[in-house]
Amino acid sequence: MRSTRRAVDVADLVARAREGQVRAVARLISLVENSEPATLRTVAAALAPYTGHAQVVGLTGAPGVGKSTTTSAVVTALRAEGKRVGVLAVDPSSPFSGGALLGDRVRMQDHATDDGVFIRSLASRGQLGGLSAAVPQALRVLDTARCDVVLVETVGVGQAEVEIASLADTTVVLLAPGMGDGIQAAKAGILEIADVFVVNKADRDGAKQVSRDLKYMQSLGGRHSVAGAWRPPIVLTVASRGVTADSGVDHLVAAVAKHRDWLERTGELDRRRQARAAAEIEAIAVGEVRIRLGAVHGSAALGVAAARVVAGETDPYSAAAELVARL
């Protein structure tokens, strides 16, 4: 009996993704999202030579600040410059896979027929509610597809905003007036992660106050006063207007480009990417060890060791050392 499943020709998919074929890009992202480890490794190895070009831009903020609207307007502005753009929408809290999510994002559909734009959503499969381990690989797929900029949009809930900062070259934190928790959220660490602040819905009451509060908080910080340091600009936008003379979206795009220049000029881009790669390698290695230890399904060796600890025949440190030695 022959298998009806055809082996995936990863090299062919990568070649077609390089040519910008949307279906190949979609297929590769599905592979990194859903594959068993062997396929995932094959894909990762095939993508490696083609990565490092795209600027990864994270956009995060509380629900309701207008992340999707802003993302869509930024895509429009980047397309007007002739740039190829990838969009990854990551929703760490959603148990649903991508399709349903993007179906709601009407504005994104403006770009659905543009073959210079690749849009994909990823549901979180990460442990502890974190971002999926597939996100960095999906970024590499979009990079391989010759995107100049990849926008990663996440809901700024819990640790997600910190995690996105660990994935992005440039992190954009969105706030909006009247959210109540705008500055509250800001206090909880976004000052540390933001490379660019956006006060969206700037036509509403309170936008200038949000901007003033941010400036005040920045003045308390101090780390930006070092010569040559990047001081995160605060851009006011009305993203719902799209790319117009008064929407501020062009200023946002300019701020993101300026940050990229700064990253390259100072060597910070390589530093960030190396730290990111080191963290990714470490997480994969630890995950590999965890699998080998049989943590996922409970290996016999771990069970035997645990029983010996319970019986007082050994202690957990000795048992752990024995297991590690056997790896």
* Residues at the interface with a copy of itself (CB under 8 A): 37, 40-41, 44-45, 47-52, 136, 270, 273-278, 280-282, 284-286, 288-290, 293, 295, 298, 302-303, 305-307, 309-321, 323-324, 327
CB 148 within 8 A of CB 54: yes
β-bridge partners, 118: 86
Tokens (6 digits) for 56: 């990864």
> Do the beta carbons of residue 195 and residue 230 sit within 8 Å?
yes
272 burial (CB, 10 Å; 0-12 / 13-18 / 19+) is middle
Strands 196-199 and 55-61: unpaired
Cα separation, 206 vs 69, in Å, equals: 20
Strand-pair partners of 59: 153, 172
Distances (CA, A) of 142 to 52, 149, 215: 11, 9, 35
Report in angstroms how near the CB of residue 177 gets to a copy of itself at its nearest: 30
- Residue written as token pair 């006011």: 236
Distances (CA, A) of 9 to 46, 129, 135, 266: 11, 32, 22, 40
Residues 84 and 177 sit within 8 Å (Cβ to Cβ): no
User: How far apart are CB 290 and a copy of itself at their closest, in Å?
Assistant: 6
Closest CB 75 distance from a copy of itself, rounded Å: 26
Query: Is the CB of 244 or the CB of 274 nearer to a copy of itself?
Result: 274
- Cβ neighbourhood burial of 15 (10 Å; 0-12, 13-18, 19+): middle
Q: Could you give the CA distance from residue 137 to residue 276 in angstroms, rounded to a whole number?
A: 13
CB nearer a copy of itself, residue 199 or residue 269 = 269
Q: How far is the CB of 182 from a copy of itself (least distance, A)?
A: 24
- Containing 321, the helix (H) or strand (E) segment is helix 316-326
CB of 67 to a copy of itself, least distance (A): 26
Q: Taking the complex as a whole, how short is the minimal distance between the CB of residue 158 and a copy of itself, in angstroms? A: 11
Select 159 or 240, whichever has its Cβ closest to a copy of itself.
Answer: 159
The C-alpha atoms of residue 199 and residue 176 are separated, in whole angstroms, by 5
**Residue 327: half-sphere exposure toward Cβ, Cα within 13 Å:** 15
Q: How far is the CB of 131 from a copy of itself (least distance, A)?
A: 15
- Quote the least distance from Cβ 161 to a copy of itself, whole Å: 16
| Chain Cα centroid distance, residue 186 | 19
CB of 313 to a copy of itself, least distance (A): 7
